[in-house]
Chains A and B, each alone.
Chain A
């Protein structure tokens, strides 16, 4: 029942580089697309989210790019830092409720010093 496909499974980036994680969805009813960051042994925390009425949203070094026609969205981490090393999950849900949120399988990012 995986409705959100996330790639790659793992990613290694040098400090200062750009990390890019991609997600594709199937359900055209999805209208809210959050990204979560999870450190080992901790629960996920909301990083940034986007609605389909915009094609890009930027918060600091983190940017979501959204392509509604292709049903794809991606997370870009600029100037990646070792402290960004974590697992990142994309997700998607459809209004009005939170109970149908679908999560990608996660990407383990390692930023090497």
Chain B
């Protein structure tokens, strides 16, 4: 069963804590992305990776970090420096970074800061 998995589905964080969101894909895609979704707003790009061991900042990278040590995995860490981390986080992947390559999204992680 191919696709993208994200875990956990719900995550609660205390202020000052770092948390890591998991994203795994078995689609053999080179490109992976992290988006943030807030109510009434479109998806905003946090980080993206074109290939293993390479990643680039998106529009709202401040307070976040990523790694891409394996092709199938692209974890996102939300650090304590992120001022307003409560949001729905979506991971996506595509065959390559070409604009017409379809992005496939995972089911998302809802992060709430207590």
Contact = CB atoms under 8 A, between A and B. Distances in A.
29 contacts: A2-B42, A9-B40, A43-B90, A44-B90, A45-B104, A45-B105, A46-B103, A49-B102, A89-B42, A91-B42, A94-B99, A95-B98, A95-B99, A95-B100, A96-B97, A96-B98, A96-B99, A97-B99, A98-B31, A98-B33, A98-B48, A98-B94, A98-B99, A99-B48, A101-B45, A102-B42, A103-B42, A105-B42, A106-B42
B90 A105 contact: no
Contacts, number: 76
Nearest to A32: B99
Interface of B: 4, 31, 33, 40-45, 48, 56, 58-59, 90-92, 94, 97-108
Given A102-B42, A104-B42, A105-B42, A41 B100 contact: no
- A-side interface size class: 20 to 34
Contacts of A99: 33, 45, 48, 56, 58, 97
